[in-house]
Amino acid sequence: PVVALVSGANRLDEGRLGAVAGEPVAKADADTARTATGYAIGGVPPFGHATDVPVFMDRDLLGYGVVWVAAGRPDSVFEIQPERLRELSKAMVADLT
């Protein structure tokens, strides 16, 4: 499994993500997401996962002053600057959309 950080205004290109990740990717089912990250779909934060999940960040996010990301629950988010998000998530930046 991998985590992709993408603006809600864009759509993830699974082919691009797979090319960067070095393996084919597809949207995870609920059990896979929870096992890999420790969180339910809709609440998966960008860091603090249960396992060492590679994180990929769409380059487009760097164009925003701040972004809002999931905070561990489907009804919780927090604000963060994109560069700080990249640092904390240890994300590889790539064109994913």
3-5: strand order across its sheet: 3-5, 55-58, 92-94
pLDDT at 85: 99
Pair type for strands 77-80 and 67-70: antiparallel
pLDDT at 59: 98
pLDDT at 29: 97
Residue ranges, the chain, pLDDT below 70: none
Q: Which domains does the chain have, with CATH numbers?
A: 3-94 (3.90.960.10)
DSSP bridge partners of 14: none
pLDDT at 49: 98
State the distance between the two ends of the chain, measured CA to CA, in whole angstroms.
19
pLDDT at 79: 98
pLDDT at 30: 97
DSSP bridge partners of 95: none
pLDDT at 2: 97
